[in-house]
Structures are given as C-alpha cells and as structure tokens.
C-alpha cells in the first residue's frame, strides 16, 4: 500500500490530534487556530501554589505547551497549522500525527467547567490527621478540629504529653 492510501485508511473520520505550542503560547496558538476555523480545546487547571509563604490560586494550561485540535482527515488542509503564530508543530508518532482517543478528550471536557478544572485539594475535614509543614511546630502531627475563618484552622496537638489546641494558617497543614 502506498503512504497516501494508508493515510486515507487510517484517518478517514473526524478525530482529535495534538498541537505542540511554543513556550507559554498555548493561548495564542488556540486563539489563532480558532480564528482560522479550526475546532480546538485548551483545558486550564486552577490549583494552589505557594509563593512567599502564602498560597495563591493559579490558573495555567492543564497540559503545558499542548492543545487538542479536531480535524477531519482528507477534508481540511492541515498545512496552515504549523505556520500558525504560537504553534511549534503537530505532535507525531513517526510520520503520522498523534491521534488522541475521543474518550480521553471527552473525559477531560466533562471534568472541566467553562474550560477550567479545579485541581485544588479537597478541604481537610474535622477528625483527619494533619501535619504542620511550616512555622515553629513544623513536623508535628495532630488532629484537625475546625476552620476559623478563611485562612485559619484549629488543630489538636500532642506536645510533651499534653493535648494542646493550636490555631495555625490552613496553608501550614497537610494530610498526614
């Protein structure tokens, strides 16, 4: 079989493929591909990142430098993709573009709301064991008791054989 025949046989239906963008240019690539009429999907993730002893909610592409593109094999001209601003190349396995299973893309789409997926950990519940990760009580383990406002938490620590209630920043705790 010739390469063209094999290509047509393998890529005859609409499918999702991967585009590899230039560094930090996923959104630019998505926007430019969208303007050209390509159907793209760029999921974002929200999560907590520690910066200067404080935690901030950060939003970044879920898969840095990658975005999904829906293409109809044989019906669309794929050549403009690689010259689109923000795009580095199409991801390939050998000479074939990397096809992404529809089920995988749909599973990611189902877990996102308006293109965003919240990857922040679930809040710690009363009764769970926690470890203090910062401050004078770092490495101590205790029991999470309750939250105090948006940023504070009360925990029960065993310090020198005595149970002591301690209020700390929620960001100083992790599950033990």
Q: For the chain, which residues make up each domain, given as ranges?
A: 3-118, 129-175
pLDDT at 75 over 80: no
More confident site: 27 or 151? 27
More confident site: 121 or 1? 121
Q: Whole-angstrom Cα distance, residue 147 to residue 52?
A: 23
Give me the pLDDT at residue 100, please.
Answer: 92
Using alpha carbons, select from 101, 96, 64, 104 the residue that is nearest to residue 78: 96
Which CATH number describes the domain made up of 129-175? 2.30.30.30
Give me the pLDDT at residue 2, please.
Answer: 52
Mean pLDDT of the chain: 83
Which CATH number describes the domain made up of 3-118? 3.30.70.940
Q: pLDDT tens-digit profile of 76-114?
A: 677 889 899 999 999 988 888 888 999 999 988 888 887
Q: pLDDT tens-digit profile of 40-64?
A: 999 998 877 777 766 777 889 999 9
The reported pTM is 0.65
Give me the pLDDT at residue 68, please.
Answer: 95
Give me the pLDDT at residue 112, please.
Answer: 83
Give me the pLDDT at residue 21, please.
Answer: 96
Q: Whole-angstrom Cα distance, residue 124 to residue 142?
A: 12
Q: Whole-angstrom Cα distance, residue 4 to residue 117?
A: 39
């Amino acid at each position: 079989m010739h390469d063209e025949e094999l290509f047509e046989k393998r890529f005859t239906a609409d499918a999702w493929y991967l585009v590899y963008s230039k560094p930090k240019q996923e959104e630019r690539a998505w926007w430019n591909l969208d303007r050209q009429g390509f159907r793209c999907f760029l999921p974002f993730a929200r999560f907590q990142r520690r910066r200067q002893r404080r935690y901030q909610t950060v939003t970044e592409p879920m898969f840095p430098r990658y975005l999904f593109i829906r293409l109809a094999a044989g019906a669309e001209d794929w050549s403009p993709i690689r010259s689109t601003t923000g795009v580095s190349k199409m991801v390939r396995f050998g000479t074939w573009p990397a096809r992404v299973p529809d089920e995988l893309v749909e599973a990611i789409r189902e877990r996102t709301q308006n293109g965003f997926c919240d990857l922040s950990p679930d809040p710690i519940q009363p009764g769970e064991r926690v470890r203090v990760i910062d401050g004078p009580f770092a490495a101590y383990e205790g029991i999470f008791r309750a939250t105090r406002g948006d940023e504070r938490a009360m925990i029960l620590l065993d310090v020198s054989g005595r149970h002591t209630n301690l209020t700390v920043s929620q960001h100083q705790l992790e599950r033990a």
